[in-house]
Amino acid sequence: MYELINIQGNTWYIQSPANIGLVKTGESEVILIDSGNDKDAAKKVLSHLQANGWNLTMIVNTHSNADHMGGNAYFHEKTGCRIAASGLESAFIKYPFLEPSFLFGAYPAAPLRNKFLLAQASIVTDIVEAGEISGTPLKAIPLPGHFMGMIGVLTLDEVFFVADSVFKKEILDKYKIPFIYDVEAFLQTLSMLEQTQAKIFVPSHAEPTADIRPLVQMNREKVNQLCELILQELVGPLNFEALLKKIFDAYALTLDFNQYVLAGSTIRSFLSYLLDLKQIEVSFKDNVLWWKRV
């Protein structure tokens, strides 16, 4: 873990729970793609930079989840580096309390105010949406779906860091319900990845690969499986809590506070998606919102 591995040319990555990209842009200048979960992860990465005599000039955050930007504040304190992110994600990076608030739909209960959901706040110096990232040889590519304004990063070595747009089989098998904010956008991003030309794809939670298509198909099948399960359970009307229990029971999962907001948010997104497709309908009865398959 935290081994520095060359992918191709001036493009590297650091193996970690969420892979961190590294691009050498000059004799001693480097850019990081994401910064790890926290200060401890950042220290391990910084030791690689110092050992190689490299100076960190910028961090490009693919999105604002804690495991991708939790090291920002430490790196900025130690190096003064620039920090880039898309506009929507920058709001969560600067004000990380937004994430547990958004997930809970209210002021977050105490068990949700943990470092997994609530990273240390960080400044953002550069807003990037799509296209060339100013002053760098990198290109930002929108990857909506997993989170609100997630981007990927393409390097001159044709290495594409694709963030959380796909997950490997082990993660899908373990957690069953990957976090997805916008199901339709997630599927569109999967289709885009299949058509994208790159020599190497680097997901944050899977090994680098020259062929992204098997991962794309695996993630598409997971979305279809969740849709089918929800529709199966909604033969008769259910409120959300009852549906969530049925899904967790079907997958033999155990609910806790983190999973309640993460999986719960994902299931609500699937309900929005299926409602848009007119495959389910809603009604209010006895002051309860009921969901039912059409």
pLDDT above 70 as % of the chain: 100
* pLDDT for residue 177: 98
List the chain domain ranges. 4-213, 225-293
Whether 81 shows a pLDDT value over 90: the answer reads: yes
In this chain, the answer to whether the domains covering 4-213 and 225-293 adopt an identical fold is no
pLDDT above 90 as % of the chain: 99
Which phi and psi (to 5°) does residue 21 adopt? -85, 155
Domain at 225-293, CATH from 3.90.75, 1.10.10, 3.30.450, 1.10.1610: 1.10.10
C-alpha count within 13 angstroms, C-beta hemisphere, residue 147: 27
Taking only the tens place, the pLDDT of each residue in 200-253 is 999 999 999 999 999 999 999 999 999 999 999 999 999 999 999 999 999 999
DSSP assignment, residue 238?
A: B
User: Which two three-digit tokens encode residue 175?
Assistant: 């957690």
* pLDDT for residue 205: 97
pTM of the full structure: 0.97
* pLDDT for residue 55: 98
* pLDDT for residue 248: 98
Q: What is the CATH T-level fold of the domain 4-213, as seen in this structure?
A: Metallo-beta-lactamase; Chain A (3.60.15)
* pLDDT for residue 84: 98
* Residue 107: band (very low, low, confident or very high) from pLDDT cuts 50, 70, 90: very high
* pLDDT for residue 142: 98
As a whole number, the mean pLDDT across the chain is 97
State mean pLDDT over 264-270: 98
d(CA 7, CA 19): 12
* Residue 149: band (very low, low, confident or very high) from pLDDT cuts 50, 70, 90: very high
As to burial, measured by CB atoms within 10 angstroms (0-12 exposed, 13-18 middle, 19+ buried), residue 122 is: buried
Query: Would you say 150 and 116 are in contact if contact means Cβ atoms under 8 Å apart?
Result: no
Q: Cα–Cα–Cα angle for 206, 208, 210, nearest 5°?
A: 130
Whether 53 shows a pLDDT value over 90: the answer reads: yes
* pLDDT for residue 1: 87
Whether 133 shows a pLDDT value over 90: the answer reads: yes
